[in-house]
Structure 1
């Protein structure tokens, strides 16, 4: 099969012919129809993830059809349209038994623990616990973004952040996760403020429901506090940086809640005394278990959530190295989806 192969951290990968994955007991092999390009993939390419062993195939947001079914997998067949959380939980540990597959200590993640979905085929372990059946009317490009960014934002905003109608929610970073969070929080009836350095990303945030957009910079916190009447109920770092964390915490009102979703490879400094005297909550959120997908998919089917609008570009495997390199300069507006089966450059950008 054709796949993107990283041979050195920080050095552009290439498209290579590599062996296709073999189906394992309890797992499936999926023919990848679409896979998202996420900032987490950039972190892995840069060497920020200790689980990665080179040479490596990235990719963890995927949708496709089952190509092979392993021994012991019931209720699934070749040809079924599926997606999966990027966290493939074991299904048997204490956390999985409690329904918390997103923090399974035995989890495996395609594109990190083993070769991922920037390829024509990918293996998924523990299929009985992790496969999600796709509605026939949900296209693969849209479905690919659900497994990490949209599902992660859905659980962070709705379940972990406990956002309700009327609250002020500030989203820092308007890449795929941030724009998903804007759309979801707005659908819940929150007053959403979006913060980014990229005017195009802020324009999309306004389109997806932000009532105000703020250019990141020295004046951002003061503007946020003024527009939210003394501070936000909820802030979310959807990118991952020490500077964003500080601005997010300063933007909260007393007893506010901060959601940390963006990875922080360089660490972060937190004023713990400020957390104490204002009774602030620091909430980490990591993915979403497969059994929560039906609720989210029902809202997509009803039209309340429109993740298809987040996909702004589709590319082929040949275009992936350049797209990864673009992430060195920042996160492009919207979601980029890779179609591994395409043999030529697509260069497709959806109109706003």
Structure 2
């Protein structure tokens, strides 16, 4: 089968012929119909974040049809439409028992530890399959597995409540999902902060109040728009020390900043002015839970989460095309989500 793989860190992905994988006990093989391109894949390609082996097939936003069943798999059938939860967990360790599956002591991730979805076929445990609801497209289901799921998990970690004011720093694929989900959770106001005019327009289209840093410091704009109070919830998806500082500085009394953007760079906090005086919180966000994916699928089926327009482009399983889109992500160019359709 054809697979686009990371062969050497810091080098472009390569199209390679690889063996068709056979499902083991409890596993399924999925014929990939959609695989989202995520900023994390750029980090893996460039060696900013580690992968477990080389070569490896990246891609953790996967949807397709069940193509083969391993031994003892009875809950699925050939041809079923499924999306894949990318966290492969043991289900037995302390973390799994506490409902913290993203911290499983034996956990692995599709596209990072195991071959992922930049290929014609992918393997996963049957328990990782999320049935794709009627009326939900494969591209929508694929990006739901990461960008929407991370956005939803961030909102839940930030304990969003009806009436909260929410600021979303970074209006790419995660941010656009977060804006919609914040409205669905009852937010009174949602602000979208980005330097890209196209992303701000997309955020405005989903009901966010656009905040352009070119018009002045975002924190000042947010405080002016909230009568000086600030926001109860700030979500940071850009992965930049600057926006992480801004997310914390924009908080209201007892506000919560959920940090999901990936960077190894440190950011400064005014511990007295931004935290102590407001009893504010800074919360790390790591991945998501399988149960949240089921909820998201239902949101999408009901029309409460529109992912069709979040998918801005589909491309073939072509190494040059994929590398070009990853290069664009490196420059923070473009908005929405790009999906590979093998």
Would the TM-score normalized by the shorter structure come out above 0.5?
A: yes
- Which shifted more, 202-211 or 213-222? 213-222
SS at 1:254 equivalent: strand
SS at 2:88 equivalent: coil
Query: Which residue number corresponds to residue 330 of structure 2?
Result: 328
- Which shifted more, 329-338 or 287-296? 287-296
Distance 1:22 1:277 in 2: 58
After TM superposition, the score normalised by the length of structure 2 is 0.92
Distance 1:267 1:24 in 2: 43
Q: 1:171 touches 1:193 (CA, 8 Å); kept in 2?
A: yes
Query: Which residue number corresponds to residue 160 of structure 1?
Result: 157
Deviation, 1:285, is 2.1
- Which shifted more, 63-72 or 265-274? 265-274
Matched, 1:256 2:258: no
Deviation, 1:139, is 1.1
Deviation, 1:271, is 4.1
Deviation, 1:269, is 3.8
Deviation, 1:33, is 0.5
Aligned-residue RMSD, C-alpha: 1.8
Once the two structures are superposed, residues 46-105 of structure 1 have per-residue CA deviations (whole angstroms, 9 ceiling, x without a partner) of 112223422221100010111222223331222211112222222222232333323323
Matches within 5 A, 1:173-188: 173-188=170-185
SS at 2:40 equivalent: helix
Matches within 5 A, 1:238-253: 238-253=237-252
Distance 1:42 1:144 in 2: 17
Once the two structures are superposed, residues 99-129 of structure 1 have per-residue CA deviations (whole angstroms, 9 ceiling, x without a partner) of 332332322111111221111111113x32x
Query: Which residue number corresponds to residue 15 of structure 2?
Result: 15
Query: Which residue number corresponds to residue 343 of structure 1?
Result: none
Matched, 1:228 2:230: no
Deviation, 1:222, is 0.9
After TM superposition, the score normalised by the length of structure 1 is 0.90
SS at 1:233 equivalent: strand
Q: Which runs of 4+ in 1 moved over 6 A?
A: none
Distance 1:52 1:218 in 2: 43
Distance 1:59 1:217 in 2: 37
Distance 1:178 1:160 in 2: 16
Deviation, 1:331, is 4.5
Query: Which residue number corresponds to residue 53 of structure 2?
Result: 53
Matches within 5 A, 1:28-43: 28-43=28-43
Aligned residues between the structures: 337
Once the two structures are superposed, residues 281-305 of structure 1 have per-residue CA deviations (whole angstroms, 9 ceiling, x without a partner) of 1112223222333322222222222
SS at 2:245 equivalent: helix
Once the two structures are superposed, residues 209-260 of structure 1 have per-residue CA deviations (whole angstroms, 9 ceiling, x without a partner) of 2033333686222111111222111111112111111111111122110011
**Structure 2 vs 1, CA of residues 217 and 244 (structure 1 numbering), >3 Å: closer, same or farther?**
farther
Unaligned residue ranges in structure 2 (runs of 5+): none
Query: Which residue number corresponds to residue 299 of structure 1?
Result: 299
**Structure 2 vs 1, CA of residues 214 and 167 (structure 1 numbering), >3 Å: closer, same or farther?**
farther
Query: Which residue number corresponds to residue 96 of structure 1?
Result: 96
Q: 2:39 touches 2:329 (CA, 8 Å); kept in 1?
A: yes
SS at 1:307 equivalent: coil
Unaligned residue ranges in structure 1 (runs of 5+): 341-352
